[in-house]
Structure 1
Amino acid sequence: MEYKWVVLSNTTLGVLMASINSTITIISLPAIFRGIDINPFTSFQYLLWILMGYNIVTATLLVSFGRLSDMYGRVRLYNLGFLIFTIGSILLSITPNTGSLGALELIFFRIIQGVGGAFLMANSAAIITDAFPYNERGKALGINQIAGLAGSLIGLILGGILSTINWRYVFLVSVPVGIFGTIWSYTKLKELSKPSRNEGLDPIGNITFGLGLILILIGVTYGLMPYGTSQTGWEDPWVIASMVVGAGLLVSFVYVEKKVRYSMFRLELFKIRMFAAGNIANLLRSFAYGGLMIIIIIFLQGIWLPLHGYSYSETPFWAGIYTIPLMLGFVTMGPISGWLSDKYGARVLSTLGMVIVGIGFLALTTLPYNFNYPEFALIIFIMGLGNGMFASPNTASIMNSVPPKYRGVASGMRSTLQNTGQTASIALFFTIVIASLTTTLPHALAQSVIQAGAPQLAPLVQKVPVAGALFAAFLGYDPVKSMLSTLPQNILSTIPSTAISTMEQRTWFPTAIAPAFMSALRDAFYVGAGMSFIAAITSALRGRIQIAELEEKVGRNAEK
């Protein structure tokens, strides 16, 4: 087999493993949290950290790992990533404890996975770029990114199946793939680029960037949780301090990078117009698109599926099945757009892709909460097409624009901005939805219990934490039964049996919260549409096609 195809198949396997792990975790969270016996009304912070902790670690480490790869060999550190990721998967599958301690162990083991994932992501695009000629890179990166979406699709289905058997299998499934990939990469891959040992690391930049991200995430996490008599914690002094200090560190990061000798971000690369426009467009796309999947899954599991007769225990699996069109759109367009970008460049394709994604967000705002599935499936399929049209041409454009010796750090910078945007997107979508629900959900629940014949519950349901109710529905718990089981007997005895029977109907709770939740979703979709259109404008500004290695070659020939 020609070596470039060995490279593509191995890096594709790495992407496949990491993407399966991502969606299999999301769709299996209900089984995981039941398995470690977590109370859904008091554990919203664990949900966010399990979802976002992995991305925080990769976003913090990617550029430094890209720099290390330029110094010591991209293949060597890529191989190490396979090994570390596999170790993290094994640890997750044997998580020994339950309750809060078990949740903390899961978060820590996910962080170990994140370290391995950072090595893989920092190097895969650079290794492919080294192995393929410039006129085949779009196609190769398109196939690689299709594997990522195919892995996401496989993860949704596998998660739905394995989580019903044993939640530990959700993490164990990555182990044989990781072992095979580790052995294969160590035996088959070879260095094509000459390591540059005259470089150094940037510990100050890493600490500034990583700590800034973590503090902002901590602030957002606890800002979404109740504080005192308020439904949210945005007035908590610790939340305010965390957000301010985190933002200050991220702002100071730019200044730090201008002063240190071996900067984490090579800011001079942003002088390359194609590199700058491609990365900014990618960051905006990640902001707009990164939180879409989790928000849609929460809506399907907590509202739409129960309204259509699915029990809460079944909703995680079917939510995965019903989001498949989003993946299929990407898989359909990814290789086509990559092949076209090799011939015609990335500008038109990537720009049009983001316009389509923006229109898709606007189309989602027109749906009622009890929508017809074919309409919903068509919209998210088209959004997947737009995302696929953007992704591989944009990546090829970024990687082609930088000199070969900087491909490792450039790949790390691209992945860092993408992961940072995805992490921030999840936090942003949750913030918009919960902030909106805080003003509408307590009244909606109060009105619903009054109409059900239990007016004495109105003051109590108005105090139910919005995040807790949302989280409970997402994890497959019936929030009403959870609430009724905690009532004192003297209050429970005053509620007519007909009212209890009404509230325990499968459709009562989703009907009660659906209008408020759909209104909150529309706010999030409008924000997503706006960022998508800004990403399209940025993409259009990338300028002419630029192949750095060809320009270097022409320059050397001219000197001769």
Structure 2
Amino acid sequence: MTDVASAEATIHKASGKPLNLRWALVLISIAQLMVVLDASIANIALPFIGADLDIDQANLTWIVTGYALAFGGLLLLGGRLGDLYGRRKVFMIGLSIFAVASLLGGLAQNEALLLSARGLQGLGAALASPAALALITTTFPAGPTRNRAFAVYAAMSGAGAAVGLILGGWLTGTSPDILGVTIDGWRLTFLINVPIGLFAAALAPRFLNESESHPGELDIPGAITGTLGLLGLVYGFSRAGEAAHGWDDPWTIASLVAGAVLLAAFAFIESRVKHPLLPVRVFANRTRATSFLVMMVVPAAMFAMFYFLSLFIQLVMGYSPLHAGFAFLPFSVGIVIGAGLSSNLVNRIDARYIAGVGTLMAAASLVGFSRISVPDSADGILSAMQSGSLGDGVNYWSSIFPFIVLMSIGMGAVFVPLTLTAVHHLRSEDSGIGSGVLNTMQQVGGALGLAILSTVALSAASDKKSELASAFTQQGLPKDQVGQLAYLGSFTNGATAAFLVGAGLITLGSLATWLFLNVKHEELATDGPEDVPVHVG
């Protein structure tokens, strides 16, 4: 592309003045951070929400699952709506819906309103997130400027979960008095989004350009089958990962089968309609298809790391929720460092090498976590519990901290180049759906990965749990204490097995990266679709 073309990407179409790219990036980053951290910020508040609104344990999980379902199921549709009706407009609508839903959740006085608000938050996130990524592609000129923007976006995406744990723990522990009214801390985990979301939506027209619209081209049959199919898969995988249900649960099987059938129908429809929701050409490029695949596998293991390690730190090592949140703070710092380094390196080194090394670092980190050990005999467990906690012998700084840092830097080295290669050379009219596919891969991969690794963990812990329960019973311990100690004693066996399998998953992603990601770093400094030549008059 010429310098003129690069300059045009930074001109505000309404005013004719240069765009303030820093503010544009701030708005996009705020949106992405809100979307990602909201998947974890409410987790710590769940016990307080359940007690305050009298929600039983079975329905309490829907506060998390409901958001994940709506978000994961509607991402493809959200991405395509941005392409068809204007990405800035859809971005603003998504943020506004998210803010209003957060207000409803924060003021909810019953279970029904709170769960509805979480689903509405998922809808807003599904509209805003793919539009945010597409806006980076269309706002920032190709080359170092765009690479740095993607680095910030990737850092927000990766750090959001850790930030959510810290922020959720802190807000939940507060009960401020505002205008004479005491606000429960858990409500602040929702209400904090309201001014931020509305502020970002209001400033979007000033700092972001609008894309061309193509109304009337929405593929309604594809939208219905694709959305319902993704909902089925995400729900099925989420249910399969829960100890109370598993893979052989009738609803799990029905959901996965229905999802697969609907997605098969979706594929058939997409091959026949004139304006498909998901054009096949999005997957035609081998590098892009590889990027989508690896960005499904890698987050699957990363989400599982957060899940099992946060439980280990709290249940086994005895950390409070807020303390556990701060234990993950190095992840937020490390991913910012990794993203910053890779955004500079990608200008000089092919993405294959950066992402390939990053995946190997992440795999090595999970192998490190798999080597954590605690007493696993009945006598050893009782002795450890009497002196403090089962994890007293685990040193955070030597057994956990180094591998959190290694994982975070590795993730930064993966997310930046693969996000670039996933959306590079897409046609302008496909930027939104391409971003939607990338986000969908991460969500479906996260749900699938957690389901697989939870199954591995349960299987690995099962025999140990039975062995410990028998030993504790023989020692005459009360039944409730037997169950609790057997679970704690077997949990580490399951978690370490899950870490090891997660390392294997990332290694497979690394292999795909080294073999099939063949885009050159010089190409990432160019714009425009690879199959449509650019002519300069």
What TM bracket, shorter-length normalisation?
A: 0.7 to 0.9
Q: Which deviations, in whole Å up to 9, do the C-alpha atoms of 1:91-135 show, x marking residues without a partner?
A: 1101112xxxx1x54332111011111121111111111121110
User: What is the aligned counterpart of 2:120 among 112, 119, 122?
Assistant: 112
2:209 corresponds to which letter in structure 1? Answer: K
Q: From 362, 366, 389, give the equivalent of 1:361.
A: 366
Using the alignment, how far apart are the partners of 2:530 and 2:291 within structure 1?
A: 21
User: In 2 relative to 1, CA 339–208 (structure 1 residues): closer, same or farther, beyond 3 Å?
Assistant: same
**Paired residue type of 1:109:** A
Secondary structure at 2:186's aligned position in 1?
A: coil
Residues 4 and 132 in structure 1, CA contact (< 8 A), matched pair in contact too: yes
Equivalent of 1:345, from 350, 359, 370? 350
Q: Does 1:167 align with 2:186?
A: yes
Match of 2:150 among 132, 141, 159: 141
Q: Residue 414 of structure 1 aligns to which amino acid in structure 2?
A: L
Match of 2:14 in 1: none
Question: Where does residue 180 of structure 1 map in the other structure?
Answer: 199
Q: Distance in 2 between matches of 1:225 and 1:419?
A: 17
- The answer for the alignment partner of 1:555 in structure 2 is 533
8 Å CA contact 2:425–2:528 kept in 1: the answer is no
1:530 aligns with 2:504: yes
| 8 Å CA contact retained: 1:209, 1:253 | yes
Q: Residue type matched to 1:345 in 2?
A: D
Q: Distance in 2 between matches of 1:150 and 1:144?
A: 10
CA contact (8 A) 1:27 1:320 kept: no
1:469-480 alignment runs, 5 A limit: 480=480
Q: Does structure 1 residue 373 correspond to structure 2 residue 393? A: no
**Cα distance in 2, alignment partners of residues 415 and 144 from structure 1:** 12
TM-score by length of 2: 0.83
String of CA shifts for 1:179-200, please: whole Å, max 9, x gaps. Answer: 2112212444332x33334x62
Q: In the alignment, is the contact (CA less than 8 A) between 2:97 and 2:120 conserved in 1?
A: yes
Q: Which residue of 2 aligns with 1:200?
A: 217
The change in CA–CA distance for 1:260 and 1:347 in structure 2 (over 3 A counts) is: same
Q: For the residues of structure 1 that align with 2:463 and 2:114, how far apart are their CA atoms? A: 33
Aligned equivalents of 1:399 and 1:223: distance in 2? 31
Counterpart Cα distance in 2 of 1:418 and 1:150: 15
CA distance in 2, matches of 1:188, 1:150: 24
Match of 2:181 in 1: none
Residues 446 and 172 of structure 1, relative CA distance in 2, 3 Å threshold: farther
Structure 1 contact 205–256 (Cα < 8 Å) conserved = yes
Letter in 1 for 2:503: A
For residues 353-398 of structure 1, what are the alpha-carbon distances to aligned partners after superposition, in whole Å with 9 as ceiling and x for unaligned?
A: 1111111111111111332211211111101110011001111122
Identity, % of aligned positions: 27
1:88 correspondence with 2:126: no
Instruction: Find the residue that maps to 2:212 and give its secondary structure.
Output: coil
Write the letter of the residue equivalent to 1:246. Answer: G
Which is helix-richer, 1 or 2?
1
For residue 205 of structure 1, report the CA deviation from its aligned partner: 2.8
- 1:403–1:549 CA contact under 8 A, matched in 2: no
**Contact between 1:62 and 1:118, CA under 8 Å: does it hold in 2?**
yes
2:438 maps to what in 1?
414
CA distance in 2: counterparts of 1:152 and 1:261, whole angstroms? 39
In structure 2, relative to structure 1, the CA distance for the partners of 1:211 and 1:528 (3 Å cut) is: same
Q: Distance in 2 between matches of 1:405 and 1:240?
A: 37
By how many angstroms is 1:203 displaced? 2.9
How far the C-alpha of 1:422 sits from its partner, in A, is 1.8
Counterpart in 2 of 1:76? Answer: 89
The residue number in structure 1 matching 2:4 is: none
Aligned to 1:517: 491
Separation (CA, whole Å) in 2 of partners of 1:368 and 1:529: 17
Does the CA contact (< 8 Å) of 2:247 and 2:253 recur in 1? yes
Structure 1, unpaired ranges of 5+: 458-479, 481-502
Provide the residue aligned with 2:387 in structure 1: none
Question: AA paired with 1:37?
Answer: D
* Aligned with 2:73 (options 60, 63, 82): 60
Distance across 2 between alignment mates of 1:437 and 1:93: 38
Q: Is the 8 A contact 1:66 1:123 kept in 2?
A: yes
Deviations 1:415-444 (A, max 9, x none): 111222122223333333334444443442
Contact 2:426 2:530 in 1 (8 A): no
Distance 1:238 1:270, change over 3 A: closer
Amino acid at match of 1:189: L
Distance 2:199 2:258 in 1: 43
Equivalent residues of 1:295, 1:429 under 8 A apart:
no
The aligned counterpart of 2:518 is 543
8 A Cα contact 2:351 2:519, kept in partner: no
Cα gap change, 1:208 to 1:290, in 2 (>3 Å): farther
Report the AA paired with residue 112 of structure 1: L
CA distance in 2, matches of 1:151, 1:378: 20
Say if 1:25 and 1:211 are closer, same or farther in 2 by CA, change over 3 A.
Answer: same
Cross-structure match for 2:307: 294
Taking structure 1 as the reference length, the TM-score comes to 0.80
- 356-365 vs 105-114, which moves further: 105-114
Q: 1:435 to 1:210 in 2, by over 3 A?
A: farther
The answer for the alignment partner of 1:461 in structure 2 is none
Query: Which runs of 5 or more residues in structure 2 are unaligned?
Result: 1-17, 175-184, 375-390
Aligned residue identity for 1:544 = V
Query: 2:256 and 2:408 mapped to 1: Cα distance?
Result: 33
CA distance, structure 2, for counterparts of residue 76 and residue 241 of structure 1: 37
Of 1, 4, 7, the residue aligned with 2:24 is 7
Work out the CA distance in 1 between the residues paired with 2:484 and 2:497: 19
State how many pairs are aligned.
486
Counterparts of 1:151-550 in structure 2 under 5 Å? Answer: 151-165=160-174, 166-191=185-210, 193-197=211-215, 200-220=217-237, 234-305=247-318, 315-369=320-374, 370=391, 371-374=394-397, 375-454=399-478, 457=479, 480=480, 503=481, 512-540=486-514, 541-545=516-520, 546-547=523-524, 549=527
AA at the equivalent of 1:372: N
Distance (Å, rounded) in 1 between the aligned partners of 2:250 and 2:531: 57
Name whichever of 337-346 and 273-282 sits farther off. Answer: 337-346
- Deviation of the 1:319 alpha carbon: 1.4
Name the CA distance, whole Å, in 2 between partners of 1:256 and 1:439: 47
Structure 1 residue 553: Cα displacement: 11
Q: Judging changes above 3 Å, is the alpha-carbon distance between structure 1 residues 521 and 200 closer, same or farther for their aligned structure 2 residues?
A: same
Distance 1:389 1:509 in 2: 42
Contact 2:91 2:201 in 1 (8 A): no
User: Is 1:32 matched up with 2:56?
Assistant: no
User: How big is the alpha-carbon RMSD for the aligned residues of Structure 1 and Structure 2?
Assistant: 2.7
